[in-house]
Amino acid sequence: MDCYLVAYDLKSLIRDICGRESQEDGSWCDLVEKAFRLSDKVMTEIQQNPNKGIMEQLETVAVNLWNFTVSLKTGRRLSLLSNAKLRHICLKIVEATVITTEDTMKIKRKIAMGLKTARAWLDTKDIPMAIKVLDLTDQFIKQLQKLVIEDINKLGASDSLEKEKLDVEQDLFKLLCYKAEAGAFLSMLCYNFGVELYQKKKLEEAVSWLKESFEMGKHQTNLDARNQARTLRLLASVYLEMDQEDLLQKALNAVTLANNVYPHPSGLFLYLRILLKAKEPNSVINKAILDIMQQPGISPDVGINTALILSKNERHDLAVGLMKELLKKFEHSANIGDLLMSNFDILLAARDRQSLKEFVEFCIVAILDIMQQPGISPDVGINTALLLSKNERHDLAVGLMKELLKKFEHSANVGDLLMSNFDILLAARDRQSLKEFVEFCIVENNTHRALEPAVKSRFHIEFWALAYTADEEKNYQEALDWYNYSLSLYSREESGDQNLARLHRNRATCYLNLGQMDKATESVNEAKKLDPSSINILFMLFKLALAGSNIEQAKDVLQNMCSEVAKLENTDKESEAQKLICQAAFMAYESNKESTASLALECLANCSSDLYQTLTALRCLIRLKLSHVDQDKSLSLEDIGILRDIRMAYNKLLQAQDIGGKMSQKQSEEASWFMRVAWNLALKCEKKPDLMKDLFILCSQYSGLCPDDEENTLMRKKTCLLMAAAACLQQARTEGMIGVIKQNFLEETIHLIHECKVINQQIKQEMDMDSSLDSRSRDKADILMLMYEFEARCKLQDPTVEEVIEVLLKIPNPDPKPFETIAALSLEPPSHHKNVAVRALKIAIRKHQQQPTVDYQRISALFHSLIQMALNSVSDNTKQEALGYYGEVVDLIDKKAQMTNTYADILDQMDKRKIKKSKKGLEE
């Protein structure tokens, strides 16, 4: 139906309803009914085809109809049903057309209309319609409540907002009251509050809500007596639990009223508890007991519980008397065993030794009588025998079970009899009789009558439990006997049972502990046939090989275990398998089979998904390998593959950081351990620069995972990279190295130096932010870094190598020594950078002269090197260049002579004359 058509029809009907002079006649009621049915379609049509104009028209029509209805009701010209229907029509139209959730005035209008409409339906006793309207109104109230709370949170509390909040709460209360009328809703709500508070042990608050629930329920005709009685019983229980003498009477009143309203065994039992708590005389208690026992269909359990509570409250005479009545009343019941045991406990608590003795003798006579009865049930006999066993009358219990087994040997319950006899013999601690009985059952099963699957399964469980206990006590022969009994119960048809493989494996363990290696091997081979891929069976083979000192076989089995563990990845059995590998490593180490232990640890490190288990395995493995190197000097670190282990640990930690985003304290401590190991090993590798380099690079990588402040981490990383660059350069210095390989080492050196420079920039930024940081150690490292860079670039014939000198000059107060080193490196084959060497020597001489204490001997040597390079040159300006250097030396001597008149001056003058003479020779 189209939205426009629905709106047109509805407006026409409402116009006719409001235009009629006479109401409540047949035609007018038909119009109301049509409009009522049509109003339910308004919401659907408007949602499908929303039209603002139509919605506004319908809203106006609804308001007019509401006002018309109010006027009719005021003039008493309207029936209750018509009033409800007309109001319902208005409400449905307003619900469909006023869809705002922000306009508080319109929402308030919808709430008012909803409450009035619900009241109208309640007046007609149409509860389902009232509940529908109340649920709708509840939505409107929640909308308004949300808006008010938002305004309070946004604008703060004010008188107007608090008044609005109070109005909403009043509407909500009215809604709840209407709901209470519509089905005792409020009464049940109070009861639920009481239950919740009682469970939280807020007893006083629980009492208030339960009393309120009962009071509200009293006036509700549709609330049944059972619910009211339930509320009263809970109220009495709360009073009783509050454990106050003045509240016992209230508890008694509440439960008495409950029992009058709706009698129930739990109410009668509660009544008895309260009487006992109040220490009422036996005459009153007897009456309460009689009320309980006269309940129709009472079970033995109720009687037993009643007697036990009497005994607990030291009303022993009453308890004993009640048990006598119960034993008479239920003497043929299946619960006779429970009754007898309860009677025994009650007599024991009463400390009535004579009565207890008489009762036991009565039980023995009763047993004999029971055995003579032709229609005896096996359950009665079993319960009686178990009762005797519980009271340590083992001889009687065992004798009774023998008679029962004879009497019922062809019964369908023979399985229960066998298991009960087993339990009784086990309780009697008669191991010999128990084993004889088990052997009898096995022979019967294998030759005459097979045991039921459930009975066999129970026997297997019991045998294995006894075997486990014996194994824990290190009584391996006893454990083996019980496992053999279990094996004897298996038939050929059950040869594929997975438990059979476990059984053979357990037998092999017993044989191994007993030192019977051949039988252990035979058993484990049987297990392997049944389950060849079992990691547990492979582990047993490993133990056997290790015990027999068959190292190669142990290693082969261990390899198979590792393969099986890899197949179990991401399964429930993976963790258990990894634990077996751990155990294998420990056993091998304890047996001084260190190579086998290393293999197990390597397997565990490769297959484990547990980070800390992997790291622990690698730590143990590294320690084990290092101990091998210490013991066998022919082994090297390359031979034992220790670099691979340290690198694997780094990769595992890096993966953990990628997943978690941040290193935990424990992970950082692990990283620190591996970094220290790598650093110490690197320092020992002076003759292995390639390994030294790799270890220092790993140190630099680990440094980023270790806990420290940013600056220390960067300094540590830079130091590691610098050491790696030195090792790499050392490799390039090796004589006889192929040119391409040498070039690769030099290029790698430059790459490492570049990484150091990047870190240097980061350190500089840190130092700029903190002026207190000392830069002297950094300058020394920077100079060393520049030396390595210069040497590598020189040997690579880099034409821009002189740039290093420029960088070195920018360092504050550089020492002359680096420039002397640069001069020497510039002339080392295959490089020959004479200009760079000359410049470096000149800078070194100048730096020497700027020192607080001038080393003239060193300056003399540097000038000697300059003159020697000039004289060795083949250029035309050779002599002139050399004479220039001589002139500088003479000037230096003159300057020194002016500063001192000691004997050294004369020597300087003599040196000066010699230099002049040499100079004259050169000029000639």
267 near 240, Cβ under 8 Å?
no
Quick one: pLDDT band at residue 921, thresholds 50, 70, 90? very low
d(CA 466, CA 482): 7
Spell out the SS3 assignment of 448-501: HCCCCHHHHHHHHHHHHHHHHHHHHCCCHHHHHHHHHHHHHCCCHHHCCCHHHH
The distance in angstroms from the start CA to the end CA of the chain is 129
Q: What 8-state DSSP symbol labels residue 333?
A: S
pLDDT at residue 117 in the model: 92
Mean pLDDT, range 78-83, rounded to an integer = 89
Determine what percent of the chain is predicted with pLDDT higher than 90: 13
What are the pLDDT digits (tens) for 688-698?
888 999 999 99
pLDDT confidence tier of residue 495, bands split at 50, 70 and 90: low
**Alpha-carbon span 916 to 907, nearest angstrom:** 14
Quickly tell me which residue has 């670190």 as its tokens.
637
**Number of other CB atoms surrounding residue 203 within 10 Å:** 16
Q: Which of 67-81, 365-379, 551-565 has the lowest mean pLDDT?
A: 365-379
**Closest C-alpha to 404, from 430, 432, 373:** 373
CB count within 10 Å of CB 27 equals: 10
> Is the omega angle on the peptide bond into residue 453 within 30 degrees of 0, that is, cis?
no
* DSSP conformational letter for 773: S
Q: Are 288 and 306 in contact (CB under 8 A)?
A: no
**Residue 478: predicted pLDDT:** 92
Residues 882, 919: contact at Cβ < 8 Å? Answer: no
What tens digit of pLDDT does each residue of 459-490 get?
A: 899 999 999 999 999 999 999 999 999 998 88
pLDDT score at 918? 47
If one counts every other C-beta atom within 10 angstroms of the C-beta of residue 507, the result is: 24
Q: Residue 881 above 80 pLDDT?
A: no
Does residue 739 register a pLDDT over 60?
yes
Which tokens is 377 given? Answer: 């049930």
Angle, CA of 492, 494 and 495, to the nearest 5°:
70
Highest mean pLDDT among 341-355, 364-378, 536-550: 536-550
Question: H/E/C letters for each residue in 236-255?
Answer: HHHHHHHCCHHHHHHHHHHH
Residue 299 CA from chain centroid, whole number = 47
Q: How confident is the model at residue 731 (pLDDT cuts 50, 70, 90)?
A: confident
Q: Is the peptide bond before 852 cis (omega within 30 degrees of 0)?
A: no
Query: What are the CA-CA distances from residue 365 to residues 369, 377, 379, 396 (Å)?
Result: 6, 17, 18, 11
| Among 912, 907, 906, 910, CA closest to 893 | 912
The pair of three-digit structure tokens given for residue 598, joined into one six-digit string: 């290393």
d(CA 793, CA 804): 9
* CA atoms of 90 and 149, how far apart (whole Å): 29
Q: Is the pLDDT of residue 911 over 60?
A: no
**Up-side HSE of residue 78: CA atoms within 13 Å toward CB?**
23
Reduce the DSSP state of residue 754 to 3 states and report it: helix
pLDDT given at position 924: 44
- The encoded tokens of residue 374 equal 């032709």
pLDDT of residue 900: 58
Helices (H), 75-124: 80-97, 104-123
d(CA 216, CA 188): 9
Q: Which two tokens stand for residue 387?
A: 């009762």
- Host H or E run for residue 42: helix 26-48
Is residue 759 within 8 Å of 718, Cβ to Cβ? yes
Alpha-carbon gap, residue 621 to 646, rounded angstroms? 10
Of 565, 538, 531, nearest to 554 by C-alpha is 538
Cα–Cα dist 202/209, whole Å: 11
| Residue 778 clears pLDDT 70, i.e. is over it | no
Q: What is the DSSP letter of 714?
A: H
Burial of 677 (0-12, 13-18, 19+ CB in 10 A): buried
Q: What is the pLDDT of residues 422-454, one digit of tens each?
A: 888 888 887 888 888 888 888 888 887 778 888
Which amino acid, one-letter code, is at 372? Q
In this structure, the number of other CB atoms found within 10 A of the CB of residue 170 comes to 10
Least confident of 196-205, 386-395, 396-405, 615-624: 386-395
Convert 593-616 to b/e letters by CB count within 10 Å (16 or more is b): beebbbbbbbbbbebbeebebbbb
Which pLDDT value is given to residue 408?
77
State the Cα angle at 274 between 269 and 276, rounded to 5°. Answer: 95
* pLDDT at site 917: 45
- DSSP tally for the chain: helices H, then strands E: 43, 0
- Residues with Cβ within 8 Å of 107's Cβ and at least 6 positions away in sequence, in order, are 100, 101, 140, 143, 144, 147
Confidence of residue 903 (pLDDT cuts 50, 70, 90): very low
Whole-structure pTM value: 0.53
Taking residue 863's Cβ as centre, other Cβ atoms within 10 Å add up to 18
**pLDDT for the residue numbered 533:** 79
> What whole-number distance in Å separates Cα of residue 924 and Cα of residue 921?
5
Residue 227 CA to chain centroid, in angstroms? 44
Q: Over range 850-877, report the average pLDDT.
A: 82
Between the alpha carbon of residue 119 and those of residues 219, 240, 686, 836, the distances in Å are 18, 41, 98, 107
The first and second tokens of residue 438, run together, are: 């088990």
**Does the pLDDT of residue 267 top 50, yes or no?**
yes
Task: Measure the CA–CA gap between 390 and 424, rounded to whole angstroms.
Answer: 9
Of 354 and 68, the structure prediction assigns the larger pLDDT to 68
Chain-centre distance of CA 256, in angstroms? 52
Q: How far apart, in whole angstroms, are the C-alpha atoms of residue 804 and residue 788? A: 10
Residue 832: per-residue pLDDT: 80
- Would the pLDDT of 746 be above 60? yes
Phi/psi zone of residue 770: left (φ > 0), alpha (ψ -120 to 50 degrees), beta?
beta
Structure tokens at 710: 């940013």
| Helices of type H across 608-688 | 611-631, 637-640, 642-660, 665-683
Please say whether the beta carbons of 523 and 505 come within 8 A: yes
pLDDT (0 to 100) of residue 401: 80
CA dihedral 280, 285, 286, 291 (to 10 degrees): 140
674: nearest Cα among 710, 654, 645, 711: 645
In whole angstroms, what separates CA 110 from the centre of its chain?
A: 50
The Cα–Cα gap between 580 and 163 comes to: 72
Cα(613)–Cα(604) distance, rounded to whole angstroms? 8
Nearest Cα residue to 809 out of 776, 838, 847, 771: 847
Q: Which helix (H) or strand (E) holds 446?
A: none
CA torsion 356-358-363-364 (nearest 10°) is 120
How do the residues of the chain divide into helix, strand and coil, expressed in percent and rounded to 5?
A: 80, 0, 20
Please give the structure tokens belonging to residue 524: 């484990």
Q: How many residues can be counted in the chain?
A: 924
What's the rounded Cα separation, in Å, for the pair 337 and 383?
5
